[in-house]
Structure 1
Amino acid sequence: MAFVAWRPLGWLIFFGVCGSVFEVAAADNNAGSGRAYVSNEDGQSVSVLDLASNTSIATVEVGKRPRGLKLSPDGSRLFVAVSGLPKCPPSVPDEVCAKRERDLKADGIAIVDTVEHKLIKVLAAGSDPEQFAMSADGKRLYVANEDVGLMSVVDVDVGKVLAKVKVGLEPEGVGVSPDGRWVLVTNESDNSVSVIDTKTLEVKQHVTVGKRPRDMAFSPDGSVAYVSGELDASLYRMAVPAGEPVQRVLQLREAAKPMAVVLDDARKRLYLSTGRGGTVAVVDTKQAPKTYRLIKEIEVGARPWGIALTVDGRFLYTANGPSNDVTVVDTTALSVVKRIPVGKTPWGVVIGPAPPR
């Protein structure tokens, strides 16, 4: 999160681009039929990229401050978190931020028809939705309501909030375990991860991790989650759902501000965007859990935030906020192959199949 009018007690500083997810979804880059969707936070839009040509083919207006986004399993619907809470940089005094106008009617999850490139409707999803996760069947959304410390559970078919679960301060990243049994929520201001039972919708526990945790990635069996820590440049490993053992497995350079986390288990790698660090960190996990090794940091652009990996693992896409573009990284050569102009202040990116016709 960040740059918002409301800031809880204990807020000290913010680094990074306003606006992740940072979510990996299925895509067949070799078939040349895949799509990438990029949320443009200050452009109130989503850019649609064709993976075969690596060009922007459409722009869809979705509402205020689009950030987190997910695709339905068949790629026919795109879900985008939109928010009427205005930006407010740390340089602006709290009393000034509090006076900035807020549009409560703008909050929700926008649904886009990916065939027609049209906004269909906006679902109620609690206040200031930023990131969210989707159940495997696409019927339920778990939404972080950052300004109020809650996670809203949304029924997509019914179009309403089923429950609100109290988590930690400033919830940010949200992820569902591969078996659908657990939801993890990173809480920025109290340096913790909330573990929620998807059957009872109760918090099992809060696990302390690095400073200002942003995102997480699950191991394929769901027994482990990797959590980025922005303010202490850390990567943590925690057991799911127990939490313990929890350990710092990697320390990046001080200037790196880890944001999104993506796991490529086939290649035994983790990828982390580093925000103000301007890079993607590539981490070797072959000797995990004993050893995690930084292979390289790839310079990708200004403040990379959301990242997504093609299903074959050959290419990684990064959303670079201030430079208004997306970088394409060849994961074999570990080098940049292209930068694609998109909308204003790209925040998140998700990759998936071309929509059915």
Structure 2
Amino acid sequence: MRKLALPFVATTCLALAALGCKSSAPAPSAEKPAPEPTGPRVYATNEVSGDLTIIDIGTAQTIANVHLGKRPRGIHASADGKQLYIALSGTPIAGPGVDESTLPPPDHSADGIAVFDLAVRKIVRTIPGGSDPENFDLSKDGKKLFISNEDISSVSIIDVDSGTVEKSFKIGSEPEGVRVSPDGKEVWVTSEGTGEISVLDPEKGKITATIKVGHRPRNVAFMPDGKTAYVNAENDGNVVVVDVKSHKMTKTITLGQAGVIKPMYVLLSPDASKLYVSTGRGKQVFAIDTKDNKIAGSVEVGARPWGMTLSPDGKTLFTANGPSNDVSFVDLASFTVVKKAKAKGGPWGLVALP
């Protein structure tokens, strides 16, 4: 068979094109994006960048970073798990020893508790939270927010439905951690500057007790029976045990050298058999056996771990590592770091949901 000359082939193709003929080869299709993972997720507030990082737990994949506003810190889920409450603050970041007179003035228009809808991934409402809200907890019925107002040394009670500040109470300086007791009758608020816990009775609407607990307490964890509470004392390298009924310290658990090991956050395991303690510059998480209040182990998790949370199945502990902008996954069976996921800028608080 005689081969066609190339000029003939080219001429024929041009003629077919002029007649409107189309190539039989299929057009390349647009590449479809990979489906988003649908498993349980961990949500991290980023204090520096002002974002919420959404991480898939199964793959340790960062799904999204959603901008929230200024300085998001405290975070809690609503009772139905459909929304997140997130504390926002327009007060500039100032660590210990920083001369606040050198900082820009606070932008109190940015203060509030953002209500973040997980289905649409955006803020649908902002509830007034008083000045410089840092952390908070919800009442057992979900109708009230109890908020620490760091810059004015107070705790505020907020009605969620109306979005109004019902009452505010002066307490010790630099309040941070807020925790409602298991029976809902007391709200404990840590004051870093004065080294104490203020006990608020929400029913009576007054501060009923003050408990000295050491230097720079940040958080509280109540045992499920409500008889015992654990509080970190950051600058002492300790965790203190408090009898809830008498409002008195009963024991001090030393984790390490003060200034090197700096307990930041306390969190109980689902069965309350272990207390987990992040240690900031100490880079570790300690496990304390709550039966005898002795150290059961420790693991290095990353740079300055702060906030923590547990996976919905209780098998994995997550830590927010601020300086390295990541979240560590700690397998609790082996007590080892098995994965890390990237956050945006200065992860602070964590919540995990199915």
TM-score w.r.t. the length of structure 1 is 0.85
Which region of structure 1 is more displaced relative to structure 2, 72-81 or 51-60?
51-60
Query: Residues of 2 paired with 1:106 and 1:267: CA distance?
Result: 37
Match of 2:195?
A: 191
Q: Which amino acid aligns with 2:328?
A: T
Shift of 1:351: 1.5
Structure 1 residues 267, 102: closer, same or farther in 2, change over 3 A?
closer
Shift in Å at residue 165 of structure 1? Answer: 1.6
For 1:93 and 1:51, the matched residues in 2 are separated by: 40
How far the C-alpha of 1:243 sits from its partner, in A, is 0.6
Shift of 1:159: 1.0
Match of 1:266 in 2: 271
Tell me the equivalent position of 1:218: 222
2:295 alignment partner in structure 1: 294
Q: 1:169 to 1:106 in 2, by over 3 A?
A: same
**Structure with larger RCO (C-alpha < 8 A, sep 6+):** 1
| Pick aligned residue for 1:182 from 163, 171, 186 | 186
Aligned equivalent of 2:86: 80
| Aligned mates of 1:265, 1:102 — CA distance in 2 | 39
> Secondary structure of the residue that 2:109 maps to in structure 1?
helix
How far the C-alpha of 1:267 sits from its partner, in A, is 6.1
- In structure 1, what is the equivalent of residue 141 of structure 2? 137
Cα separation, 2, equivalents of 1:189 and 1:93: 15
Summarize the Cα distance change of 1:191–1:162 in structure 2 as closer, same or farther, 3 Å threshold: same
- Is 2:47 the partner of 1:56? no
Q: Given the alignment of the two structures, is residue 102 of structure 1 paired with residue 106 of structure 2, yes or no?
A: yes
Does structure 2 retain, via aligned residues, the 8 Å contact 1:73–1:136?
Answer: no
Look up the match of 1:234.
238
Identical counterparts, % of pairs: 42
Q: Which moved more, 1:320-329 or 1:82-91?
A: 82-91
Q: CA deviation at 1:79?
A: 0.6
Counterpart pick for 2:71 among 54, 65, 70: 65
**In the TM superposition, what is the alpha-carbon distance from 1:246 to its structure 2 partner?**
3.4
**What is the CA–CA distance in structure 1 between the aligned matches of 2:112 and 2:229, rounded to whole Å?**
27
**Partner amino acid for 2:278?**
S
Query: CA shift at 1:252, angstroms?
Result: 2.6
Q: Which amino acid letter does the alignment assign opposite residue 295 of structure 1?
A: A
The answer to whether the 8 A contact 2:40-2:312 is kept is: no
Distance 1:62 1:265, change over 3 A: closer
- Distance apart, 1:302 and its partner CA: 0.5
- 2:22 corresponds in structure 1 to none
CA distance in 2, matches of 1:345, 1:296: 27
Aligned to 1:343: 344
Q: Number of matched residues?
A: 316
Q: 1:183 to 1:262 in 2, by over 3 A?
A: same
**Does the alignment pair 1:279 with 2:292?**
no
Aligned equivalent of 2:23: none
Summarize the Cα distance change of 1:223–1:267 in structure 2 as closer, same or farther, 3 Å threshold.
Answer: closer
1:253 aligns with 2:254: no
User: 2 CA distance for matches of 1:242 and 1:267?
Assistant: 21
CA contact (8 A) 1:139 1:156 kept: yes
Structure 1: how far apart are the matches of 2:345 and 2:245?
A: 38
Structure number with larger C-alpha Rg: 2
**What SS does structure 2 have at the residue aligned with 1:111?**
strand
Structure 1 residue 68: deviation in Å? 0.5
Q: Which runs of 5+ in 2 are unaligned?
A: 1-37
Give the Cα separation in 2 of the matches to 1:278 and 1:186: 23
Unaligned ranges ≥5, structure 1: 1-31
Question: For 2:236, what is the secondary structure of its paired residue?
Answer: coil
SS at match of 2:218: strand
RMSD: 1.6
Deviations 1:307-332 (A, max 9, x none): 00124321000000010000000011
Question: Is the CA contact (8 Å cut-off) linking 1:58 and 1:117 kept in structure 2?
Answer: no
Distance 1:281 1:205, change over 3 A: same
- The CA distance in 2 between the partners of 1:93 and 1:163, in whole Å, is 30
SS of 1:266 mapped into structure 2:
coil
Alignment-derived partner of residue 308 in structure 2: 307
Task: Provide the secondary structure at the position in 1 that maps to 2:102.
Answer: helix
Preserved contact between residue 192 and residue 216 of structure 2 (Cα < 8 Å): yes
| Post-superposition offset of 1:94 | 4.4
